[in-house]
């Protein structure tokens, strides 16, 4: 009888410990910044350090006075973890682990990545975001659109988002605007002149396009308050 009582108490204690560990793990997961993310959220990123990024930032208006975004990707949650669907100069259209995406960002003085998560707020959220991920996935492996040309043969970052977020009839949900390669002085940056000369193309001044800063101001997007470590 004593053995039975000991056996019962031992296994009840083990079971209780397992429950407590499980609750603790769930609680920790709920406190993770990743827990507030949803499939189809957009993550805008500030970068520093390259002439290419500086040239982009010089001709696109910042969404606010705190951050100027030079990149944007689509958050995708799977059993394997949280990733970002993006188009990068180095890899073209690809899937990047969230940790690697955050590591590539510029960081503030406290070491936090300079990113902003934003969410589509339309009533058709689930349908639109599910479709966006599917459409973005269909472009995997395509090269980066260094010329910012219209069409999807090659793709740049906000072009991937623009072409992926469409309504049930295939119409873009976000807006496009005339592109400019002129800085605040009204002059075309010498970097862009040299850049397009090397590509053997005319600068597409005034042609319709997108950029992360303009996209971050879309009225159908709201900020998700997330602070990544």
- Convert the pLDDT of each residue in 94-130 to its tens digit: 999 999 999 999 998 889 999 999 999 999 999 999 9
pLDDT of residue 185: 85
Assess if CATH 3.40.50.10470 describes domain 35-224: no
Q: Angle between the 125-137 and 157-164 helix axes, to the nearest 10 degrees?
A: 130
62 vs 170 pLDDT, higher one: 170
Per-residue model confidence (pLDDT) at position 32: 74
User: In the structure, what pLDDT confidence band is assigned to residue 11 with cuts at 50, 70 and 90?
Assistant: very low
Pairing of the two strands 42-45 and 208-209 = unpaired
Query: From the CB of residue 80, how many other CB atoms can be counted at a distance below 10 Å?
Result: 9
Q: Residue with structure tokens 């406190």?
A: 31
DSSP result, the chain: -HHHHHHHHHHHHHHHHHHHHHHHHHHHHHHSGGGG--TT-EEEE---S-HHHHHHHHHS--SSSS----EEEEEEEETTEEEEEEEETTTEEEEEEHHHHHHTS-B-TTS-B-EEEEEE-STTHHHHHHHHHHHHHTTTTPPB-TT--SSSSSB-HHHHHHHH-B-TTS-BSS--EE---B-TTSSB-HHHHHHHHHHT----TT-EE--HHHHTT-TTEEEE-----
Averaged pLDDT for residues 27-54? 74
pLDDT in tens, 46-86: 986 555 655 666 655 554 545 689 999 999 998 889 999 99
Give the tens place of pLDDT for each residue, 178-211.
Answer: 999 988 788 998 889 999 999 999 999 999 999 9
Amino acid 55: pLDDT? 61
The pLDDT mean for the chain works out to: 83
Report pTM.
0.80
């Amino acid at each position: 009888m004593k053995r039975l009582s000991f056996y019962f108490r031992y296994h009840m204690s083990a079971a209780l410990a397992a429950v407590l560990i499980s609750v603790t793990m769930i609680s920790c997961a709920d406190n993770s910044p990743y827990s507030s993310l949803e499939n189809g959220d957009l993550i805008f990123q500030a970068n520093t350090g390259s002439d290419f990024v500086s040239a982009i930032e010089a001709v696109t208006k910042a969404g606010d006075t705190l951050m100027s975004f030079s990149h944007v990707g689509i958050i995708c949650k799977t059993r394997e973890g949280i990733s970002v669907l993006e188009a990068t100069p180095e890899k073209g259209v690809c899937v990047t682990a969230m940790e690697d995406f955050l590591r590539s960002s510029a960081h503030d003085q406290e070491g936090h990545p300079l990113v902003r998560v934003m969410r589509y707020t339309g009533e058709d959220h689930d349908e639109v975001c599910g479709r966006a991920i599917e459409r973005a996935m269909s472009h995997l492996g395509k090269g980066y659109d260094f010329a910012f040309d219209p069409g999807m043969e090659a793709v740049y970052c906000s072009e991937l988002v623009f072409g992926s977020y469409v309504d049930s009839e295939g119409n873009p949900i976000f807006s496009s605007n005339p592109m400019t390669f002129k800085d605040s002085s009204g002059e075309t940056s010498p970097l862009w002149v040299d850049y397009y000369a090397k590509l053997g193309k005319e600068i597409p001044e005034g042609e319709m396009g997108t950029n992360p800063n303009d996209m971050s101001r879309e009225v159908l997007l709201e900020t998700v308050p997330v602070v990544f470590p």
